[in-house]
Amino acid sequence: MFRLRPKAHLEKAERNKDFVINRLMALADKFPEWVSTVAFYSALHFVAAYLVKEHGLHFKDHEERNKAVVLHLGEITLEYERLYDLALNSRYGSIKDNPEPGEAEDAVRIELARIEDFVRSHL
Amino acid sequence: MMRNAEKVTFLPLKNNTSHERLRYRLNLVEDHLRGSLNILISPEEADLTCAHLLEGLYPQLKWEFPLRIIPPPRDTRKIKTSDITSTLRTTWHVDSKTFAPLSRKDLALQFFDRKLGEIPEEINFYYSVRKVENRPPGYIIDLMIAIPASDRKLEYRIYSALKDLTTKYVDLLFNFRIIRRRGRPLHEIVSEGYQRYV
């Protein structure tokens, strides 16, 4: 199991965010599933950075991490659940389960942005 | 009731329990105990309706009537083995450890159902229980919530219900997925192994 330090999580979060904003957003009409997937993994590393730094919590499974987000990051829980849901459908659902392009773009502009803002302001 | 059993699992049922509901609850218990299923029915006001339903569902088993009807315990850890006897005065071992998480899961599902019931839009809710090793409580409740189409406001209300569920049942593990039907019939989108919560 990987146990990254907060700084390493933030670097991963930033790298994923860079990729989704500067590359994938231009493709959102055609590949919204990849926009929402990478947005989620950026958010995952943002919250992981917070959970490691503030609570010493490392997770390898989504269910435990999701619970920790509810318990320790109530302010951004709904945004995180949103990204988790869209990304889960993107990764494992059929093409019909993909988010719509507008939903994927909002996931980056609204949900991911809120999560990043919160985490950065609390670290 | 089956003879010579070693375990008893409480199956809290109301006396107006439907055939369908009884069947899926039995499936849950059966799955949980991996087949070693013995049942004692409650609650206080229940009559033998449930027992006769059981007889109909499992005609291959030998049943004894009347079953002893006991009130559902609030805390199964407080039950003493001697509290529970069959009509033949056989003492049964109470597997309260098994019952406790099962009950907790049922309560959580009821709670989530109530939360979703507060939302006026059309929502269908399915669930599945998946065993996991070395991750307390030993299983994950997978929730699948089907809605007609993308609806940001509605989806946020569902996320909020999930947050409440996780906060209240912090000892359990949940996974969830919202499915936007987009014209697809439910049988096409509900994964195998999921049961509709009724």
**Ordered domains of chain A (ranges, CATH):** 6-122 (1.20.120.330)
pLDDT value for B80: 41
Residue B148 C-alpha, separation from nearest chain A C-alpha, in angstroms: 12
Q: How far apart are the first and last CA of chain B?
A: 27
Residue A44: pLDDT above 60? yes
- The B-side interface with A (CB below 8 A) comprises 135, 140, 150, 152, 155-156, 159-160, 162-163, 166-167, 170, 173-180, 182, 184
Each residue's pLDDT tens digit, A12-22: 999 999 999 99
pLDDT value for A56: 96
ipTM of the complex, rounded to two decimals: 0.96
Check CB contact of A105 with chain B, cutoff 8 Å: no
pLDDT band at B56 (very low <50, low <70, confident <90, very high): low
pLDDT band at B139 (very low <50, low <70, confident <90, very high): confident
Domain boundaries, chain B: 9-94, 101-196
Check CB contact of A77 with chain B, cutoff 8 Å: yes
Residue B6: pLDDT above 50? no
Nearest chain A Cα to B139, which residue? A63
pLDDT value for B105: 80
| Least confident range of A85-89, B14-18, B84-88, B169-173 | B84-88
Each residue's pLDDT tens digit, A93-123: 999 999 999 999 999 999 999 999 999 999 9
pLDDT value for B122: 87
| Least confident range of A22-26, B63-67, B173-177 | B63-67
B34 compared with B147, residue with greater pLDDT: B147
Percentage of chain A lying above the pLDDT 70 cut: 100
- Stated pTM of the model: 0.72
Around Cβ A122, how many Cβ atoms within 10 Å? 13
Please check whether residue A16 is in contact with residue A42, taking contact to mean a CB–CB distance below 8 angstroms. yes
φ and ψ at residue B84, rounded to 5 degrees: -120, 120
Q: Is B112 helix (H, G, I), strand (E, B) or coil?
A: helix
pLDDT value for B107: 81
pLDDT value for B103: 58
pLDDT value for B165: 97
- Give the angle B69-B71-B76 at the CA atoms, nearest 5°: 115
Average of per-residue pLDDT values in chain A: 97
Pick from A90, A85, A104: which is nearest to A25 by CA?
A104
Cα–Cα distance for residue pair A76/A118, rounded to 1 Å: 8
- The dotted CATH code for B101-196 is 3.30.70.1350
Each residue's pLDDT tens digit, B78-130: 444 333 333 323 333 334 444 444 457 878 888 999 999 999 998 989 998 88
Structure tokens at B160: 């909020």
Around Cβ B9, how many Cβ atoms within 10 Å? 22
Question: Which residue in the set B160, B174, B178 is minimally distant from A85, CB to CB?
Answer: B178
B11 compared with A52, residue with greater pLDDT: A52
C-alpha torsion angle, residues A108, A111, A112, A113 (rounded to 10):
90
